[in-house]
């Protein structure tokens, strides 16, 4: 894991208890990998993480990808409004299992296409080698989102 990787809060507008990722594990122009440890007692955890939080974790990983893009575009810290985004579409989404308390979930999103304020990514949530959820996610990002 690179020590150069930013904290999630540097790239995402989300804050606890809505923040669904603990750390960024990898970040490039077209891929982001983030991790969450599921802890009993945390928001939306009742022995296992709520299915919707798997989708939210993928969305926040995509937000990290957008945050990197916006940082590059701005040549430094991006404007807060450029980090905003709305999840506007899901396609082919499957959730096979909720991760249990104590498990670590790895969220990976890969950029398919960026077109103006629209971003299309493929996302996958895993525990070790087991795929928990996956599908395509579409976002509207930037001012107005």
Partner 1 sequence: MAESKRYTLEEVTSIVNAIMVDEFEVEPADLRPEAKLNEDLGLDSLDGVDMVVAIEKAFHCRIAEEEARKIRSLQDVYERVLHRLGQSVSNEL
**Nearest C-alpha neighbor of 122 from the set 112, 132, 133, 107:** 112
Two tokens, residue 63? 């937000």
CB of 79 to partner 1, least distance (A): 21
Q: Which of 92, 116, 143, 144 binds partner 1 (CB under 8 A)?
A: 116
Q: How far apart are CA 29 and CA 104, in angstroms?
A: 24
**Residue 143 binds partner 1 (CB under 8 A):** no
CB of 97 to partner 1, least distance (A): 28
Residue 95 burial (C-beta neighbours within 10 Å; 0-12, 13-18, 19+): middle
**Residue 138 binds partner 1 (CB under 8 A):** yes
- Residue whose structure tokens are 């525990």: 127
**Residue 18 binds partner 1 (CB under 8 A):** no
Radius of gyration of the chain (CA): 14
**Residue 115 binds partner 1 (CB under 8 A):** yes
Residue among 75 and 144 whose Cβ is closer to partner 1: 144
Residue among 107 and 139 whose Cβ is closer to partner 1: 139
Two tokens, residue 130? 């087991």
Q: How far apart are CA 87 and CA 75, in angstroms?
A: 26
Segment lying near partner 1 (by CB under 8 A), choices 57-65, 74-82, 83-91, 127-135: 83-91
Which positions lie near partner 1, rule CB under 8 A?
A: 88-89, 91, 112-116, 118-120, 138, 140
């Amino acid at each position: 894991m690179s020590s150069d990787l930013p904290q999630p809060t540097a790239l995402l507008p989300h804050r606890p208890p809505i923040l669904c990722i603990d750390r960024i594990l990898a970040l490039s122009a077209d891929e982001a990998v983030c991790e969450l440890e599921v802890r009993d007692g945390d928001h939306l955890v009742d022995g296992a993480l709520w299915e919707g939080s798997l989708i939210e974790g993928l969305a926040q990983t995509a937000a990290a990808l957008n945050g990197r893009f916006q940082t590059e575009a701005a040549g430094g810290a991006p404007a807060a409004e450029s980090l905003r985004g709305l999840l506007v579409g899901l396609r082919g989404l499957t959730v096979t299992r909720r991760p249990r308390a104590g498990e670590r979930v790895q969220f990976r999103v890969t950029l398919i296409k960026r077109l103006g304020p629209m971003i299309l990514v493929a996302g996958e949530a895993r525990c070790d080698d087991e795929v928990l959820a996956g599908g395509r996610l579409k976002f509207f990002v930037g001012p107005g989102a």
